[in-house]
Amino acid sequence: MFAVGRSEYISAPNVRCIRSSLRRDCVWITCLFLAAIWPVSLRSQTPSNILATRSVEANKLFRTGAALAKQGNLDEAITTFKMALGIDYQNPFLLNATGATYSLKGDFEQAKQYFLESLQFDPGFVPARKNLAVIYFNVGRYDLAATEFQKLKNASVASRSVANLFLGMIAEKNGDYVQAMSLLDQSGPLLYRYPEALLSFANSAFQLKQLHRAKAALSGLDSIPGISASQYLKAAELHSRLGQNPQALAALDKAGAKDSQLERLAYQRAVVLDQMNRSQEALEILKDLAATNPDSDSLNLLANVAQKNGDLGLALQSLRQAAKLDSAREDNYLDFSTICVDYDNYPMALEAANVGLEHIPNSYRLLVQKGVVLVNLGRLEEAEESLRNASQLQKDNSVALLSLAIAHAHAGQLQEAEATLTAATHDFPDNYYMHYYLGKILVQQQEGHPADPGLEAKAKHAFQQAIRFNPSYADSYYQLSKLYLQGSPKLAEQNLVTCLRLDPNHAHAEYTLARLYLRTGRRAAGQALIDRFESQQQSEKLKEQQRPSIESAQK
């Protein structure tokens, strides 16, 4: 079904180039089929062996069928091709053309049978093999498509670029992004002629964190004609993930111009607007979706945006509706529980987690959430059980182990907490928060006891490791500064200043630095920080008093 440029025709030994009208019409109909199911305009290769028509009448019927197909009269074309096959039933061209016309009708199962029959009579007939491979690709049978494209790749140099193009897209759909980029690169200039392939390349590059290549691939879409609405939508999603929100909106506008009713178009626009801090516009779109065509994704996003805008009642209502629509999606329960935790309603947070676990009993995230909520409720033995169960469900169990250490700490089991985190930092050495919390546990062990230089040194090292792996986390500097206050006030000051540079509203660091300034004779600077600290505290109290409660949102 593909075609290659005239300069790419292969000439096998002892095979003559057949210039019959039958062959020219077959090239046309294969191109027509290809445009319908995959926007490629390559010309077919000459097969290694072609069975010429044995009848002038069959040839005449083929020409008539091709004309009918070109006019869009597909049923009549199929009838005409079948009449020709009644005369010349083993002709691979006629079988391929019949399959191609069925493909134009969208009857891929019938098309597949004709392509297979064409190959049965001539296994070397490249157009039928390409058509069969594309059929498998378009119906999602990527394993069978890969087999056929691999045969094409091995069969001739002329088919290699097309085969690499599709094999690369199949690899991307299977999540093998390294292989996908390699194969798509090998497809050469073809990559920059077909939007779907370029989108596969861009997504693979994004997944591999090669962001410059992903952006470059997306920018290449603008020069390709005939991009579909769904392809513009895919491009918008990738632009959004890359932080290119203006480009995402432009792509969504183009998608809407081609198909204003495209599924997920409105949802994706709300995603982009929310990322651009245009949350009121996003909220209106999502409210409309919830009223007319609700789904789990849009309801979850509506809950998030509603919470940002202070509408707690709408957030909870949206998550309840999402859970009813999609009871197997853990985000519905997890987000509801998290909102309850944010507003200190731990019993309701636990109830949401438990309801979720009834539907998804082996959910790692819900078990961790349940454990964290139980810690806050003071039910530490149950919390430990939940977190241990979670830690056995997946290899990356860092959150469960960290939460387990926190549960130990709340239970006063500081040595158990230290042991858990020390072991976890060996498995997850670049997890900054594990190092940070290990430092806090080590500091806590010294409270009420004589100074222990060994523990203090270990705590300093833990905070330094936390800073190494995440230099932007302000509280690591604050915790480290407290260890320097007595013996190295200059180092304490440096860490406090860095903390406040990263987080100007870090109240504890501000107060500690103020006291340090006063202690070292810088009264004006110290008093200014004290005044600012007191003002912030008053502002925080006012915000807390005005914050709505879960109970009021339920009414």
Domains 1-158 and 472-555 alike in fold? yes
**147: its two tokens:** 């087999």
Per-residue pLDDT of 426-439, as tens digits, reads 999 999 999 999 99
Place of tokens 């204003």: 260
**Mean of all residue pLDDT scores within the chain:** 86
Burial class (CB in 10 A: 0-12, 13-18, 19+), 551: exposed
End-to-end Cα spacing for the chain: 63
Rounded to 10 degrees, what is the CA torsion of 54, 60, 61, 65? Answer: 130
| Among 30, 40, 19, CA closest to 126 | 30
53 pLDDT exceeds 80? no
**309: its two tokens:** 């805008």
Per-residue pLDDT of 356-410, as tens digits, reads 999 999 999 999 999 999 999 999 999 999 999 999 999 999 999 999 999 999 9
Question: What's the whole-model pTM score?
Answer: 0.69
Per-residue pLDDT of 251-304, as tens digits, reads 999 999 999 999 999 999 999 999 999 999 999 999 999 999 999 999 999 999
pLDDT at position 250, please?
96
pLDDT at position 550, please?
55
Contact (CB, 8 A) for 50 and 12: no
The CATH H-level superfamily of 1-158 is: Tetratricopeptide repeat domain (1.25.40.10)
pLDDT at position 545, please?
63
Contact (CB, 8 A) for 357 and 332: no
- Using DSSP, state whether 211 is helix, strand or coil: helix
The domain limits of the chain are 1-158, 472-555
CATH architecture classification, 472-555: Alpha Horseshoe (1.25)
Angle at the Cα of 127 from the Cα atoms of 121 and 129, rounded to 5 degrees? 65
Burial class (CB in 10 A: 0-12, 13-18, 19+), 459: buried
Q: 253: left (phi > 0), else alpha (psi -120 to 50), else beta?
A: alpha
pLDDT higher for 26 or 281? 281
